[in-house]
């Protein structure tokens, strides 16, 4: 039998979706599953986007420009200027989701065997993107007991080798909800300039900041024009995960030129998705205010309830709509599977993402889970009730 490729062998399975078969089995038994495992918002997609889809009058759905529809890029340029990011249409391109934007950034900025430093825990698919492009991820560990704050910057510099080409952050962070301060970004800027690195930033959750905190983009940092690549997406901002429309921004013309060559190989991003995403730029500000208020309520409710459960600890996230919680269990992977396969309460159960899949340092996150607060308060309350009952019944519970 022919062998499977090495890159296919080392490609990690998604920890977010690994437990799907167990959830499906539970549903087949008639058990309701509350999904806290995946960042699929229940917030309605803006009406302007839906109307744009409903009113389509096309005889042919044609190929588009590899960089994305010009009309959309022009409107995006104007949109980013309202956010303090001065960018022109030649400095951004449309991608097939933020996922492709990350892969294109890796392909354009790093060679096979090059290293990228990524604070962990990090979105699990980063490791997949790196594996598929031959890039080595070097983890910069953070800890739940310090709310996942960055370690000292001397610790970052200890990780820099002659193969280091980039530092990659997610701001606000998935899975922790951590939000970078201007001081931290300025310190990262100094390191990047001192070692002539790229600074990549996934900013798809920039709309979701709480407690009066403000998101600061790496594109706002002066003097880093040739060093920065920003990743964005419509998935979370407009609750349009299925459109698969993302963006790659950089003021370095060589990065855009190179990314475009790779993008030409896949021809063009989805035309229908771009039409809906372009219309979404007309979404009224009230939509975002209401969404932010709703997520803030969910966050406050969830964290308060989690920390009331004996042995559970979760820091207060400052952005995005996730939190990482430490549970009083022997192994969170086993617990999350057990909750789906062997436990129910009132004929209901809950699905979470084991946090070990968001780390690559061995032994990290083994008692932690990522919880997405993408359900309404009533469903969140029911899900946390189930979690509390499950922890009481779990045979390998360990309060220490």
Strands (E) located in 250-355: 322-326, 348-351, 353-354
Query: pLDDT tens, 85-96?
Result: 999 999 999 999
Positive/negative CA dihedral, 319, 322, 328, 332: negative
Predicted local confidence at residue 400, as pLDDT: 64
Domain-embedded: residue 275: yes
Task: Give the HSE-up count for residue 300: Cα atoms under 13 Å, Cβ half-sphere.
Answer: 9
Count structural domains, the chain: 2
Query: Are both 305 and 347 inside the same structural domain?
Result: yes
Predicted local confidence at residue 94, as pLDDT: 98
Distance CA 359, CA 124 (A): 8
The band of 37, judged by pLDDT with boundaries at 50, 70 and 90, is very high
Predicted local confidence at residue 329, as pLDDT: 97
The pair phi, psi for residue 167, each rounded to 5°, is -115, 135
Predicted local confidence at residue 8, as pLDDT: 80
- Whether residue 371 has pLDDT greater than 70: yes
Q: 319: domain CATH number?
A: 3.90.1150.10
Please state the pTM of the whole predicted model. 0.95
Cα Rg of the chain (Å, integer): 21
pLDDT above 90: percentage of residues in the chain:
91
| Nearest-5° Cα angle at 319, 74 to 283 | 35
Query: Of 261, 280, 299, which closes a domain?
Result: 280
3-state secondary structure of 369: strand
Predicted local confidence at residue 219, as pLDDT: 97
Query: pLDDT tens, 346-362?
Result: 999 999 999 999 999 99
Query: Of 229, 257, 280, which closes a domain?
Result: 280
Q: 262: domain CATH number?
A: 3.40.640.10
Query: Are both 276 and 290 inside the same structural domain?
Result: no
Query: Are both 71 and 29 inside the same structural domain?
Result: no
- Whether residue 5 has pLDDT greater than 90: no
Query: Are both 276 and 291 inside the same structural domain?
Result: no
For residue 302, give the nearest of 287, 314, 284 by alpha carbon.
314
CB of 38 within 8 A of CB of 354? no
Predicted local confidence at residue 69, as pLDDT: 97
What's the average model confidence in pLDDT over 224-244?
96
Task: Name every residue whose Cβ is closer than 8 Å to that of residue 370 and which is 6 or more positions away in sequence.
Answer: 37, 121, 175, 322, 323, 324, 352, 353, 354, 355, 358
- Whether residue 231 has pLDDT greater than 80: yes
Strands (E) located in the chain: 32-35, 92-95, 115-120, 136-141, 164-170, 198-202, 228-233, 246-249, 322-326, 348-351, 353-354, 368-372
Instruction: Say how many C-beta atoms besides its own lie within 10 A of residue 34's C-beta.
Output: 19
- Whether residue 250 has pLDDT greater than 90: yes
Query: Are both 214 and 236 inside the same structural domain?
Result: yes
Query: Are both 309 and 251 inside the same structural domain?
Result: no
Predicted local confidence at residue 3, as pLDDT: 84
Query: Are both 317 and 385 inside the same structural domain?
Result: yes
CA distances from 346 to 30, 239, 308, 389 (A): 11, 30, 21, 11
Query: Are both 249 and 198 inside the same structural domain?
Result: yes
Query: pLDDT tens, 277-308?
Result: 999 999 999 999 999 999 999 999 999 999 99
Distance CA 359, CA 57 (A): 47
What's the average model confidence in pLDDT over 36-64?
93
Domain-embedded: residue 331: yes
Domain-embedded: residue 53: no
Domain-embedded: residue 1: no
Query: Of 280, 312, 347, which closes a domain?
Result: 280
The band of 11, judged by pLDDT with boundaries at 50, 70 and 90, is confident
Domain-embedded: residue 55: no
Structural domain of 189:
63-280
What's the average model confidence in pLDDT over 46-75?
95
Domain-embedded: residue 363: yes
Domain-embedded: residue 379: yes
3-state secondary structure of 176: coil
CA distances from 49 to 22, 205, 240, 276 (A): 34, 19, 9, 5
Query: pLDDT tens, 201-215?
Result: 999 999 999 999 999
Identify the bridge partners of residue 93 per DSSP, sorted by sequence position. Answer: 248
Query: Are both 237 and 94 inside the same structural domain?
Result: yes
Query: Are both 81 and 208 inside the same structural domain?
Result: yes
Query: Are both 266 and 291 inside the same structural domain?
Result: no
- The region of weakest confidence among 13-22, 107-116, 334-343 is 13-22
Query: Are both 250 and 353 inside the same structural domain?
Result: no
Domain-embedded: residue 205: yes
Distance CA 133, CA 272 (A): 28
């Amino acid at each position: 039998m022919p062998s499977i490729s090495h890159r296919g062998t080392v490609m990690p399975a998604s920890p977010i979706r690994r437990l799907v078969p167990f959830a499906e089995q539970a549903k087949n038994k008639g058990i309701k599953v509350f999904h806290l495992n995946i960042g699929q918002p229940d917030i309605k997609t803006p009406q302007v986007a839906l109307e744009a889809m409903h009113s389509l009058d096309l005889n042919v759905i044609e190929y588009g420009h590899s960089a994305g529809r010009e009309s959309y890029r022009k409107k995006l340029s104007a949109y980013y200027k309202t956010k303090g990011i001065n960018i022109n249409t030649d400095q951004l391109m449309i991608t097939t989701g933020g996922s492709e934007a990350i892969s294109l950034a890796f392909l354009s900025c790093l060679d096979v065997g090059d290293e990228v430093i990524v604070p962990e825990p990090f979105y699990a698919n980063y490791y997949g993107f790196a594996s598929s492009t031959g890039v080595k991820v070097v983890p910069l560990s953070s800890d739940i007991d310090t709310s996942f704050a960055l370690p000292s910057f001397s610790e970052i510099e200890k990780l820099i080798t002659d193969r280091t080409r980039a530092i990659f952050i997610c701001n606000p962070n998935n899975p922790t909800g951590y939000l970078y301060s201007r001081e931290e970004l300025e310190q990262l800027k100094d390191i990047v300039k001192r070692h002539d690195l790229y600074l990549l930033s996934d900013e798809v959750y920039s709309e979701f900041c709480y407690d009066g905190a403000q998101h600061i983009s790496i594109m706002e940092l002066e003097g880093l024009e040739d060093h920065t690549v920003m990743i964005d997406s419509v998935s979370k901002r407009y609750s349009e995960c299925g459109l698969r429309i993302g963006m790659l921004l950089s003021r370095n013309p060589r990065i855009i030129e190179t990314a475009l060559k790779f993008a030409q190989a896949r021809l063009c991003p989805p035309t229908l998705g771009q039409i809906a995403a372009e219309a979404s730029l007309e979404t009224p500000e009230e939509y975002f205010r209401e969404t932010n208020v709703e997520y803030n309520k969910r966050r406050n409710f969830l964290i308060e309830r989690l920390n009331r459960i004996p042995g559970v600890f979760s820091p207060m996230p400052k952005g995005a709509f996730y939190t990482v919680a430490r549970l009083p269990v022997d192994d969170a992977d086993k617990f999350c599977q057990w909750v789906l396969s062997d436990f129910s309460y009132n004929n209901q159960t809950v699905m979470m993402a084991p946090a070990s899949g968001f780390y690559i340092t061995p032994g990290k996150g083994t008692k932690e889970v990522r919880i997405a607060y993408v359900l309404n308060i009533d469903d969140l309350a029911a899900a946390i009730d189930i979690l509390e009952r499950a922890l009481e019944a779990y045979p390998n519970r360990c309060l220490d």
